[in-house]
Amino acid sequence: MSGLHLLFPEVALSVMALGVMLADLFIAARHGRVLYHLGWIASIVALLLVGVTISDPARYQGVGTLWSVDPMSQFFKMLVLLTTVLCLLLGLEYEDLPPAHAGAFNALLLLSTAGLMFLVSAVDLLEAFVALELVSLSSFILVGFERSRSKSNEGAIKYFLFGAFSSAIMAFGISLFYGVAGTTRLIGLSRSLASNPVFLLAVLLILLGFAFKASIAPMHFWVPDAYEGAPTPVTAYLSIAPKIAAMAVLLRVFTILLPASALRLTGLLALLAALTMTIGNFTAFFQDNVKRLLAYSSIAQAGYIMIGIVAGNTLGLEGVMLYSFIYVAMNIGAFAVAQLVASQAPEGAGDRYGLSSFDGLAQRSFGLALAMAFFLLSLSGIPPLAGFIGKFYIFSAAVQSGHYWLAACAVVNSVVSVYYYMKIAYHMFFMPAPDQVPLRLGPYLCGGLAVAIAGVVIFGVYPEPLVASVQASAQYLP
């Protein structure tokens, strides 16, 4: 075991997660909210610890036995932690969670985050597998956390079955990998392996396992049901953190350790990317439930991010990182507004997350409607919002590497996506409001929203600091 000190932030977060679970025993249910505060503070502490590792790379970065701690992994860890903080802020204002289990909820979310942090550093398949299982097991429970709602249970079961299935496939892939390569370590593999068909099969099976987490077609079927059933803060979390972490792994594997071009998998990856965004966008067309709509939208977004991996060049690498960052802000923002609107939807109006809950939002709370419009436009990549910068970067990676048809497919998809994103805008701005009462905005959700809107607008208008820091973080070991 060498280089254990490199994983100090992960270890600290895991310990704090267990601490939160223990604290649950000593805190009465009516004070359950304290645990959420403990949860997000723990994430911030971990965030600061990751910051320390960036400030002193000589001491805190390097390659361990199973992991590689480098600016790229630390960048993704910070994103995952940021997502956790924002989701817990959302959780503070989410009223349907049973207060009696606040400790378990927070601990599971933090453990899942710790798993993701291990995952983005992994350079060994075994470690990646264990980290993935930690994430999966925690998130299965989180999806089913609203035990009294049948949708929540349904989502959890589907998620669990799909997850178990894909884990099995991945484990099988890893066993084949070990059989051929004689190791599970991804570093220092012999070049001759690339022509071995069993090795290729192993890589493909492993790819499927990660595709499940990143909701890449054809492993996306669980997404809409799990997202719809899960408590909204969990949905927001699932739509961001595991996805970008899985993308980070794919990025590390297919652009650095086992370049897709060397394995002649670029065409397949391009096809998957095109398929993912097309399926996501065209299915989102027909959704009337905002959570399902955003679920399909997040599938499509995964497709866009994947273009960076297909491109396989430096721009692509930076593009994936940049897009992931921006994706955090815009997706959290969209889910935050959705949660707020649904929580104050009129009673007995059927589906609270139905699009009709948004009717006339612009006349009730113009600022909130405008914020949502910004998030949606950013998701569809309209300048001058941050989403455009992300797409611009990703598309330029595709054009630079000569994937013209993939870029064309992506821009056509962006146009298609506008239609359903604007469906929400249509309800917010064009439909008459049932009443003129402004929505009540709690302080924590307001804080989360402010962070998201600042991210979307500031990095859209002046992206230079973000682009520069992404370019600085796009360094990897070994």
Partner 1 sequence: MNTLSLITFIPLLGAIIVLFLPKDRVRAIQTTAIAAASVSFILSVALFFFFDRATPGMQFVEHADWIPSMGISYFLGVDGLSYPLLVLTTLMTLVGLIGSLGVKNRVKEYFFWFLLLDVGMLGVFEALDLVLFYVFWELCLVPMYFLIGIWGGPKKEYAAIKFFLYTLAGSVFMLLAILAVYFNSTPHTFDILALMKAHSAWSLRFQILVFLGFYLAFAIKVPAFPFHTWLPLAHVEAPTAVSVILAAVLLKMGVYGILRISYGMLPLAFHWFLPYLVVIAVVNIVYGSLCAMAQTDMKKMVAYSSVNHMGYCLLGIAGLSATGFSGAVFQMIAHGIITGALFLLVGVIYDRAHTRDIAAFGGLAAKVPVYGAFMFLLCFASLGLPGLAGFVGEFLCFLGAFARWKVYTAVAVLGVLATAAFFLRMLQKVFLGPLNAKWAELPDMTARELISIAPLAALSVIIGVWPGWVLNLMNATILHMTAFVKP
Binding region for partner 1 (CB under 8 A) out of 4-12, 64-72, 304-312, 383-391: 383-391
Of 42 and 329, nearer to partner 1 (C-beta) is 329
Question: Whole-number minimum distance, CB 298 to partner 1, in Å?
Answer: 21
Query: Of the candidates 347, 382, 407, which has an alpha carbon nearest to the alpha carbon of residue 460?
Result: 382
Cα 280 to Cα 291: distance, rounded to the nearest angstrom: 13
Question: Whole-number minimum distance, CB 462 to partner 1, in Å?
Answer: 8
Residues 390 and 381: beta-carbon distance below 8 Å: yes
Question: Whole-number minimum distance, CB 366 to partner 1, in Å?
Answer: 7
Of 19 and 438, nearer to partner 1 (C-beta) is 438
Q: How many CB atoms lie within 10 A of CB 15?
A: 13
Question: Whole-number minimum distance, CB 396 to partner 1, in Å?
Answer: 5
**Residues 352-371 interacting with partner 1 (rule: CB under 8 A):** 362-363, 366, 370
Cis status of the peptide bond prior to 478, with omega within 30 of 0: yes
464 binds partner 1 (CB under 8 A): yes
Question: Whole-number minimum distance, CB 394 to partner 1, in Å?
Answer: 11
Q: Alpha carbon of 425 to those of 134, 281, 359, 371, 374: distances in Å?
A: 38, 17, 9, 11, 10
**Residues 388-427 interacting with partner 1 (rule: CB under 8 A):** 388-389, 392-393, 395-396, 399-400, 404, 407-408, 411-412, 414-415, 418-419, 422, 425-426
453 binds partner 1 (CB under 8 A): no
Tokens, residue 380:
């569809």
Q: H or E stretch including 159?
A: helix 150-181
The radius of gyration of the chain's CA atoms, rounded to the nearest angstrom, is: 21
Of 168 and 468, nearer to partner 1 (C-beta) is 468
454 binds partner 1 (CB under 8 A): no
Of 280 and 360, nearer to partner 1 (C-beta) is 360
Q: According to CB under 8 A, which one of 179, 188, 346, 384 is a site residue for partner 1?
A: 384
Tokens, residue 334:
């969209």
Please name the amino acid found at residue 43: S
441 binds partner 1 (CB under 8 A): no
Sign for the CA dihedral angle at 137, 142, 148, 149 comes to negative
Query: Of the candidates 246, 203, 393, which has an alpha carbon nearest to the alpha carbon of residue 313?
Result: 393
Cα 290 to Cα 275: distance, rounded to the nearest angstrom: 22
Q: According to CB under 8 A, which one of 198, 430, 450, 454 is a site residue for partner 1?
A: 430
Q: How many CB atoms lie within 10 A of CB 197?
A: 8
| CB-based contacts of 217, cutoff 8 Å, min separation 6 | 211, 272, 275, 276, 279, 280, 299, 303
How many residues interact with partner 1 (rule CB under 8 A)? 37
Please name the amino acid found at residue 201: L
Of 356 and 363, nearer to partner 1 (C-beta) is 363
The residue to which tokens 């589906």 are assigned: 351
Q: According to CB under 8 A, which one of 54, 104, 446, 467 is a site residue for partner 1?
A: 467
Of 122 and 371, nearer to partner 1 (C-beta) is 371
456 binds partner 1 (CB under 8 A): no
**Residues 217-256 interacting with partner 1 (rule: CB under 8 A):** none
347 binds partner 1 (CB under 8 A): no
| CB-based contacts of 453, cutoff 8 Å, min separation 6 | 333, 371, 374, 375
Residues 137 and 61: beta-carbon distance below 8 Å: no
Of 286 and 478, nearer to partner 1 (C-beta) is 286
Binding region for partner 1 (CB under 8 A) out of 98-106, 173-181, 339-347, 380-388: 380-388
Beta bridge partners, 67, equal: 122
Question: Whole-number minimum distance, CB 407 to partner 1, in Å?
Answer: 6
Question: Whole-number minimum distance, CB 380 to partner 1, in Å?
Answer: 9
CA terminus-to-terminus distance, the chain: 18
Tokens, residue 333:
């923002």
Of 104 and 467, nearer to partner 1 (C-beta) is 467
Of 162 and 388, nearer to partner 1 (C-beta) is 388
Which stretches of the chain bind partner 1, using CB under 8 A? 362-363, 366, 370, 373, 377, 382-384, 388-389, 392-393, 395-396, 399-400, 404, 407-408, 411-412, 414-415, 418-419, 422, 425-426, 429-430, 462-464, 467-468, 471
